[in-house]
Amino acid sequence: MDVLHRLAGIAYHSRKADRLAAHPHADPFAAAVLDPAYPLVVVVHDEAASQVRNPFEQALIGPLLRALADPATYGLDAVDGLGVVVPHRAQRAALQQAFPKLSVLDPATGLPGRSAVDTVERFQGGERTVVLVSATESDRGYLLASAGFLLDPRRLTVAVSRAKRKMVLVASRTVFSLFSPDEGTFANALRWKNLLSRTCTTELWAGDRDGVRVEVWGGAGEASASTDIHG
């Protein structure tokens, strides 16, 4: 979709008319995140103690994954419909176990042969209708000590360039407020910060989920079409 990729500062062109289908949602959080008017959505939360696995993000995205995979609504499959990108194998394993319907079983072994959930390095296939990123890391000390592993710009580029109709980025507020004296890490962190300060500037929903503050911010529309996250 033209607007989606231009908003993220990535040169990728497809039909602007491609938007996620509209479906009603009883959960206002899910309704805000999956609003088809906003092809790029950032979900910011205040959980701040996770490293390679984040149970809070797993619970937070659960209603979104179930809705997107539900045949009665979006009916997205694990092959070219839905992609869930995570930075660490621990989060991948937890999500694959929690959402078995997002895996395709190997008919010969009966074991998962392909999954909608994977790390950036192993993300299979081409474009997906919807790509959801679980940033996972939220512990400030860990983020700084890992030398910008999460903030590597290739991770963000892969997620945005693979999303045909919608990209959802779920991340702790820690990620967007991170300051590092390292020049490279600082520059990479700025790309994430620009998603909120320049691109996703419309607040779609705010409230508590499991006792943690969560905000949903959207980016869309011609007024924002020229915005770039690269600073």
Which neighbouring-strand residues pair with 203?
A: 217
- N residues, the chain: 231
Q: What is the pLDDT of residue 106?
A: 76
**Does 171 map to a domain?**
yes
Report if residue 231 sits inside a domain.
no
φ, ψ of residue 53 to 5 degrees: the values are -140, 140
Question: pLDDT at position 182, please?
Answer: 85
> Strand (E) positions, 87-154?
103-105, 112-115, 117-119, 128-134
SS3 185: helix
In a domain, 224, yes or no: no
Quick one: pLDDT at residue 76?
96
State both tokens at 55.
Answer: 């149970």
Residue 33 belongs to some domain of the structure: yes
Number of domains in the chain: 1
Question: How far apart are the C-alpha atoms of 79 and 69, rounded to whole Å?
Answer: 12
Residue 15 lies in a domain: no
pLDDT tens digits in sequence order for the chain, 231 residues long: 555 555 555 544 444 457 899 999 999 999 999 999 999 999 999 999 999 999 999 999 999 999 999 999 999 998 889 999 999 999 999 999 999 988 887 788 776 678 899 887 777 567 899 999 999 999 999 998 986 788 888 888 877 788 889 999 999 999 999 988 888 888 888 888 988 888 899 999 999 999 999 999 998 744 333 334 444
Place of tokens 């950036």: 120
Q: Which helix (H) or strand (E) holds 163?
A: strand 163-172
Q: What does the block give as tokens for 198?
A: 């320049």
* CA distances for 9 relative to 47, 55, 224, angstroms: 28, 31, 11
- Domain assignment present for residue 20? The answer is no
Question: Per the domain annotation, does 206 fall within a domain?
Answer: yes
CATH of residue 211's domain is 3.40.50
Range of the domain at 76: 27-219
What secondary structure letter does DSSP report for 63? Answer: H
Examine residue 6 and state whether it is found in any structural domain, yes or no: no
CA–CA separation, 93 vs 13, rounded Å? 33
Integer-rounded Cα Rg, in Å, for the chain is 17
> What was the pLDDT predicted at 160?
79
